[in-house]
């Protein structure tokens, strides 16, 4: 082995700008963050070494505990819901049809729009007299009609499937042609029943939910580590809404590689849609699921923008995350900055991220062996 | 197998019908998803035209989208300041205005009072400006009843429709004013029906029909909130339009960030793809870690680096690249500097360079070109597609970037980029419920990236499938 490859000088000259940035803004920054976490520092005076005091203080700090709970709840719930929904939606859309490109682009729009624009729009939708409460109220008022429609559609579908099977056709429970007929008939039927006065809107329902300016948690009466602040739930809905399309498109790309013949063979063996989803779809996209889970967990653990944009629209404790906790201790407005404390919080966030990545590596490796 | 006893062709027809029905249902589902994902954005864009986007119940029947009001607004703008587009109130103005009421039988018919109120425009940043009031120059003339017609209301109450006409004039000389607010108050029991221009809002239990601008011009009417974004929000000291300044900053930041990213990433990518050297593995490991460590760990030190230079802890200053006292905080240079580290871009360039066959460089090698010449004259011109994709993705990243501008650009208002500027919109106008301005600003700031997305879709979507197929 040569002591020095011929390209080494040239290579490091090419890498010089990138490496200097990496050294200053990553290596030096990481080392300094760890150093600060063992000091008492206010951004202006010289840091003084205090050992592990900051770390011990973290676990008796109410804001940190709220941030830790919020971050963990946020990351796990959002990841579970958005991964599942993205996969289900991708399965539904996994068809080779004309014009699918247009829809894909449309689904992707929330993901290319900036977090500030989306968050401002959702802040507006979540106002007390905003569109979300209006939507909930409308659905609650129309509940009898919607329920009638669903029951009618299910009954019609069951009757049709039973008839087709009796005539010997291989009709599934959600047989598409029958479903189209059921839906059309159910719409007509519901309209008729409403016109005749058998079902009516409920006029006395009012939804006046305070989403933002509240310290309420759901479910009511749950233990501290399981109670989800309502404003945080609002951010969750927004996050799920913006992230699903990205993951759905990742899943779609993977699903397009699963041969059709697998599903056809399963259908001949009598597997229904749910069984096909369970036995074929989920195993086929496992590698993408690992990727999606990791990206989602890392992204949600580091959620910051939405909290900063919500600002005083919601109580700090109800929305604070670990990422925002670090910022909040570093720039606490009128108080003295607690850089050491902030750094300790940041290191704990980095460790949490590291744990997620390590678990993912372990799972991927065991999957590869199995 | 089932279905063997069917007449020929029956089962085939059944399967064909199933295929068609499935396609129909899938399109319907996709349409539903599209409405779900685009709905909030479209609804916000539509509502940004309304005088008050928080008006309850939310509605998509918007006066600003009715052609009748467009014509009226253009004519009123022409009468107010000879400006059909943006309107105004200039000396010599003579504006004819009409309003109609439904008066149920038994209610006394009284001539309403017409007034040009002294109303400050908006709140917050706009409210600190010294402004001229239209009230000081406007004169209401010839207020009279025009007609009475017997009629019935929608709930079949019998009554009379009464119409009044008047003129608003601007005698003598004086400044041209941006707005002409107008309040028309009727007696109790008289119900507002319609007017030359739809009222901005009804106040005092429907008695007062209030107009933000009685001579708006067609754009001044339809895009009222958008015009306000540019006009009302100004720097208190320089009177410069803040939104324009933020837009300019966003473009400047994106431009420099793209330039820096392309140069650094292509150089580093070339070295990693083409050159053999010691320490290559170590760099890969570092880059992997760099992508994993949260920004919040790094920003503490990076903020201090921008403020003080490098290594100034404990009074020990090894090298200070710039002066003390604020340093590169609150400057776009600092922002470009601190966001220039982009490991993902290096990977994209490295992969692209690896896909270029080595043979193309060999001719240059025989001519005795050195590494820099091979990179600059041979490989880089071939990398145009990758550089193009990187430009688009970097633009999107820079335009939407929130965290670093939020940390670094805090004052004055004119140094901010659009996302941070929109946040100060929210802080100033959200508190008073003035969402028209916030939504208009948000919609406008989303436009450049949306245009870029629809023109260069494949770069964005390929990035996604690339991510999906990677593992």
pLDDT per residue as tens digits for the range B384-410: 989 999 999 999 999 999 999 999 999
Which residue from B40, B304, B443 is facing A125, i.e. has the nearest CB? B40
Which residue from B17, B278, B296 is facing A346, i.e. has the nearest CB? B296
User: Cβ–Cβ of B277/A7 closer than 8 Å?
Assistant: yes
**Closest approach of B69 to chain A, Cα-based (Å):** 25
CB B206 within 8 A of CB B191: yes
Residues in B touching A43 (Cβ below 8 Å): 304
Using the predicted structure, report yes or no on whether residue B464 has a pLDDT greater than 60.
no
Element (H, E) at B327: none
Which residue from B25, B272, B442 is facing A180, i.e. has the nearest CB? B25
Closest by Cα among B187, B188, B113, B99 to B146: B99
Q: How confident is the model at residue A370 (pLDDT cuts 50, 70, 90)?
A: very low
Residues in B touching A110 (Cβ below 8 Å): 37-38, 40-41
Q: How confident is the model at residue B18 (pLDDT cuts 50, 70, 90)?
A: confident
Residues in B touching A14 (Cβ below 8 Å): 267-268, 270-271, 275, 371, 375
Q: How far is CA B451 from CA A59, B342, B456, in A?
A: 48, 24, 9
| Sequence-ordered list of residues with C-beta below 8 angstroms from that of A43, at least 6 positions apart, any chain | A330, A337, A339, B304
pLDDT in tens, A189-219: 999 999 998 888 888 888 889 999 999 998 8
- Read off the tokens for B404: 């670093």
User: Cβ–Cβ of B276/A7 closer than 8 Å?
Assistant: yes
Classify the complex by whether its ipTM is higher than 0.95, answering yes or no: no
Element (H, E) at B175: none
- Read off the tokens for B27: 């399109």
> In the 3-class helix/strand/coil scheme, how is chain A assigned residue by residue?
CCCCCCCHHHHHHHHHHHHHHHHHHHHHHHHHHHHHCCEECCCCCCCEECCCHHHHHHCCCHHHHHHHHHHHHHHHHHHHHHHHHHHHHHHHHCCCCCCHHHHHHHHHHHHHCCHHHHHHHHHHHCCCCCHHHHHHHHHHHCHHHHHHHHHHHHHHHHHHHHHHHHCCCCCCCCCHHHHHHHHHHHHHHHHHHHHCCCCCCCCCCCCCCCCCCCCCEECCCCCHHHCEEHHHHHHHHHHHHHHHHHHHHHHHHHHCCCCHHHHHHHHHCCCCHHHHHHHHHHHHCHHHHHHHHHHHHHHHHCCCHHHHHHHHHCCHHHHCCHHHHHHHHHCCCCCCCCHHHHHHHHHHHHHHHHHHHHHHHHHHHHHHHC
Which residue from B53, B290, B418 is facing A124, i.e. has the nearest CB? B53
User: Cβ–Cβ of A116/B294 closer than 8 Å?
Assistant: no
Using the predicted structure, report yes or no on whether residue B96 has a pLDDT greater than 70.
yes
> What pLDDT score was predicted for residue A367?
66
Which residue from B275, B400, B460 is facing A108, i.e. has the nearest CB? B460
CB B326 within 8 A of CB B364: no
Using the predicted structure, report yes or no on whether residue B8 has a pLDDT greater than 90.
no
| Sequence-ordered list of residues with C-beta below 8 angstroms from that of A313, at least 6 positions apart, any chain | A123, A212, A213, A231, B426, B430
User: Cβ–Cβ of B268/A14 closer than 8 Å?
Assistant: yes
Closest by Cα among B270, B275, B276 to B356: B270
CB A172 within 8 A of CB A272: yes
Q: What gap in Å lies between CA B305 and CA B192, rounded to an integer?
A: 63
Q: How confident is the model at residue B3 (pLDDT cuts 50, 70, 90)?
A: very low
Residues in A touching B457 (Cβ below 8 Å): 105
pLDDT in tens, A133-187: 999 999 999 999 999 999 999 999 999 999 998 988 888 888 889 999 999 999 9
Q: Which of A6, A31, A112, A174 to mutate to test the interface with B (most CBs of B within 10 A)?
A: A112
Which residue from A29, A176, A342 is facing B21, i.e. has the nearest CB? A176
> What pLDDT score was predicted for residue B319?
42
Q: How confident is the model at residue B318 (pLDDT cuts 50, 70, 90)?
A: very low
Answer positive or negative: Cα dihedral of B387, B389, B390, B394: positive
User: Cβ–Cβ of A21/B264 closer than 8 Å?
Assistant: yes
> What pLDDT score was predicted for residue B235?
83
Q: What gap in Å lies between CA A291 and CA A295, rounded to an integer?
A: 6
pLDDT in tens, B108-130: 898 999 999 987 765 555 555 55
Residues in A touching B277 (Cβ below 8 Å): 5, 7-8, 11-12
> What pLDDT score was predicted for residue B363?
80
Beta bridge partners of A217: A229
Range in A91-100, A307-316, B73-82 the model is least confident about: A91-100
Which residue from A93, A106, A311 is facing B427, i.e. has the nearest CB? A311
Residues in B touching A351 (Cβ below 8 Å): none
> What pLDDT score was predicted for residue B433?
83
Closest residue in A to B54 (Cα) is: A130
Average of per-residue pLDDT across B236-243: 86
pLDDT in tens, A53-77: 999 999 999 999 999 999 999 999 9
Using the predicted structure, report yes or no on whether residue B324 has a pLDDT greater than 80.
no
Closest residue in B to A92 (Cα) is: B26
Which residue from A22, A97, A339 is facing B23, i.e. has the nearest CB? A97
Average of per-residue pLDDT across B37-54: 92
**Closest approach of B38 to chain A, Cα-based (Å):** 7
Residues in B touching A113 (Cβ below 8 Å): 41, 400, 446, 449-450
How much of chain B, in percent, has pLDDT values that exceed 70? 91
More confident residue, A257 or B446: B446
> What pLDDT score was predicted for residue B470?
30
> What pLDDT score was predicted for residue B467?
35
Residues in B touching A15 (Cβ below 8 Å): 267-268, 271-272, 283
User: Cβ–Cβ of B292/A354 closer than 8 Å?
Assistant: yes
pLDDT in tens, B325-349: 557 889 999 999 999 999 889 988 9
User: Cβ–Cβ of A120/B439 closer than 8 Å?
Assistant: yes
User: Cβ–Cβ of B56/A124 closer than 8 Å?
Assistant: no
Closest residue in A to B22 (Cα) is: A176
């Amino acid at each position: 082995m040569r002591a020095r490859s011929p390209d080494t000088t040239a290579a490091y000259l090419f890498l010089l700008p990138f490496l200097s940035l990496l050294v200053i803004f990553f290596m030096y920054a990481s080392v300094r963050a760890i150093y600060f976490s063992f000091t008492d520092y206010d951004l202006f005076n010289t840091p003084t070494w205090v050992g592990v005091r900051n770390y011990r203080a973290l676990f008796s700090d109410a804001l940190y505990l709220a941030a830790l709970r919020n971050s963990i709840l946020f990351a796990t719930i959002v990841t579970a819901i958005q991964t599942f929904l993205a996969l289900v939606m991708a399965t539904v859309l996994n068809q080779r049809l004309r014009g699918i490109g247009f829809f894909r682009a449309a689904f992707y729009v929330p993901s290319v729009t900036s977090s500030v624009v989306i968050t401002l729009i959702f802040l507006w939708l979540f106002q007390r007299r905003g569109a979300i409460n209006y939507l909930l109220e409308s659905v609650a008022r129309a509940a009898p009609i919607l329920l009638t429609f669903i029951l009618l559609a299910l009954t019609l579908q069951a009757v049709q499937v039973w008839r087709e099977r009796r005539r010997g056709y291989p009709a599934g429970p959600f047989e598409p042609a029958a479903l189209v007929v059921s839906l059309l008939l159910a719409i007509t039927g519901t309209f008729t029943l409403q016109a005749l006065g058998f079902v009516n809107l409920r006029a006395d329902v009012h939804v006046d939910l305070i989403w933002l300016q509240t310290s309420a948690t759901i479910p009511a009466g749950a233990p501290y580590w399981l109670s989800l602040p309502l404003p945080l739930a609002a951010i969750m809905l927004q996050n799920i809404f913006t992230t699903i399309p990205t993951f759905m498109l990742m899943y779609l790309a993977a699903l397009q590689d699963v041969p059709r013949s697998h599903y056809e063979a399963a259908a001949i063996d009598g597997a229904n849609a749910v069984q096909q989803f369970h036995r074929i779809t989920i195993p086929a996209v496992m590698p993408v699921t690992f990727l999606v889970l990791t990206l989602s967990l890392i992204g949600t653990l580091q959620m910051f923008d939405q909290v900063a944009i919500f600002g005083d629209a919601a109580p700090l404790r109800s929305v604070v995350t670990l990422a925002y906790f670090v910022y909040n201790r570093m720039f606490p407005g009128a108080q003295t900055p607690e850089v050491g404390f902030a750094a300790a919080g940041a290191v704990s966030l980095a460790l949490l991220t590291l744990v997620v990545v390590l678990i993912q590596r372990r799972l991927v490796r065991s999957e590869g062996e199995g | 197998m089932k279905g063997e006893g069917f007449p020929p062709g029956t089962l085939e027809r059944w399967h064909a019908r199933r295929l068609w029905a499935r396609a129909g249902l899938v399109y319907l589902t996709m349409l539903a998803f599209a409405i779900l994902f685009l709905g909030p954005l479209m609804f916000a864009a539509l509502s940004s035209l309304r005088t008050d986007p928080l008006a309850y119940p939310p509605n998509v029947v918007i006066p600003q989208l009715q052609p009748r009001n467009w014509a009226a607004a253009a004519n009123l703008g022409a009468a107010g300041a000879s400006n059909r587009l943006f309107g105004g109130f200039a000396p010599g103005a003579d504006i004819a205005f009409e309003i109609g009421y439904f008066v149920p039988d038994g209610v006394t018919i009284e001539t309403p009072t017409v007034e040009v109120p002294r109303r400050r425009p908006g709140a917050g940043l706009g409210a600190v400006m010294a402004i001229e009031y239209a009230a000081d120059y406007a004169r209401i003339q010839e207020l009279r009843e025009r007609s009475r017609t017997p009629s019935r209301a929608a709930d079949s109450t019998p009554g009379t429709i009464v119409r009044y006409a008047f003129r608003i004039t601007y005698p003598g000389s004086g400044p041209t004013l941006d707005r002409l607010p107008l309040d028309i108050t009727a007696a109790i029991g008289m119900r507002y029906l319609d007017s030359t221009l739809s009222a901005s809002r009804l106040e005092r239990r429907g008695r007062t029909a209030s107009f933000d601008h009685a001579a708006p011009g067609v754009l001044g009417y339809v895009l009222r909130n958008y015009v306000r974004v540019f006009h009302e929000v100004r720097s208190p000291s320089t009177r410069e339009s803040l939104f324009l300044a933020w837009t300019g900053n966003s473009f400047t930041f994106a431009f420099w960030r793209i330039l820096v990213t392309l140069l650094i990433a292509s150089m580093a990518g070339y070295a990693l793809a083409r050159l053999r050297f010691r320490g290559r593995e170590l760099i890969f490991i570092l880059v992997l870690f760099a992508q994993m460590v949260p920004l919040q760990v790094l920003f503490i030190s990076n903020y201090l680096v921008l403020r003080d230079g490098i290594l100034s802890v404990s009074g020990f200053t090894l090298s200070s690249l710039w002066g003390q006292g604020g340093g590169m905080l609150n400057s776009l240079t600092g922002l470009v500097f601190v966001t220039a580290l982009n490991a993902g871009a290096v990977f994209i360039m490295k992969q692209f360079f690896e896909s270029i066959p080595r043979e193309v460089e060999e001719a240059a090698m025989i001519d005795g070109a050195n590494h820099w010449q091979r990179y600059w004259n041979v490989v880089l011109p071939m990398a145009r597609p990758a550089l193009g994709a990187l430009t688009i993705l970097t633009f999107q990243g820079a335009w939407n970037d929130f965290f670093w501008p939020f940390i670094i650009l805090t004052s004055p208002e004119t140094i901010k980029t659009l996302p941070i500027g929109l946040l100060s919109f929210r802080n100033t106008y959200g508190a008073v419920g003035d969402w028209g301005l916030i939504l208009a600003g948000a919609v406008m700031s989303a436009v450049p990236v949306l245009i870029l997305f629809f023109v260069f879709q494949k770069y964005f979507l390929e990035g996604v499938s690339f991510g999906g197929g990677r593992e």
